[in-house]
Amino acid sequence: MERTFVMVKPDGVQRGLAGEVILRLERRGLKLVGAKFMQVSRELAETHYAVHKGKPFYEGLVRYITSAPVMAMVWEGPNAIQAVRQTMGATRPTEAAPGTVRHDFALEVGRNLTHASDGPETAVAEIGLWFKPSELVSWDRATDDWIMGSN
């Protein structure tokens, strides 16, 4: 089953929206397999956002993500990567569709509440960067067949 790395960024935590994000992913049918509430170090932020190094917003992005605690999570489900990004909405909140987290709760790209892996390779890399294997929990959920049944 596909897994993806999701983070409620400092603005989401400060605004009391961590529960809202979790609620939406749970209701969608995705399964939480790892979570930690943590302060991000500069080193971790730079590794996580290495792809953006050199861009004009890079320094501000690292400052933003290290400015206060985040909720780091791994969610699992069929097409979890695509499903989570769809629930979060477009990077720029003013381009995000109504009903998405970024549309419903954010206004600016520099305070867009959440992060979610953008593809299978980044998901594997980000899960490995943020979580030890022992911090991830594979578990059976009573409703799994009602959410993931194919017949």
Q: Nearest CA to 116 among 148, 62, 71, 63?
A: 71
Considering the complex, state which of residue 13 and residue 61 has its C-beta at the smaller distance from Mg ion.
Answer: 61
Q: Is 92 annotated as ligand-binding? A: no
Q: Is 102 annotated as ligand-binding? A: yes
Of positions 46, 104, 118, 135, contacts ligand GTP by CB under 6 A: 118
Q: Is 141 annotated as ligand-binding? A: no
Structure-token pair, residue 144: 């799994």
Active-site pick, 48, 52, 103, 115: 115
**How many CB atoms lie under 10 A from the CB of residue 104?**
16
Binders of ligand GTP among residues 78 to 97 (CB under 6 A) are: 91
Q: Is 79 annotated as ligand-binding? A: no
Q: How far apart are CA 79 and CA 42, in angstroms?
A: 31
Binders of ligand GTP among residues 96 to 115 (CB under 6 A) are: 109-110, 112, 115
- Residue 16's identity, in one-letter code, is G
113 burial level (CB within 10 Å; 0-12, 13-18, 19+): buried
Q: Which stretch binds ligand GTP (CB under 6 A): 21-29, 32-40, 57-65, 70-78?
A: 57-65
Structure-token pair, residue 85: 């990004």
Q: Which residue, chain included where needed, has tokens 């730079």? A: 46
Residue ranges that bind Mg ion, judged by CB under 5 A? 118
The residue ranges that bind ligand GTP (CB under 6 A) are 57, 60-61, 91, 109-110, 112, 115-116, 118
Q: Output the known binding site for ATP.
A: 9, 57, 85, 91, 102, 112
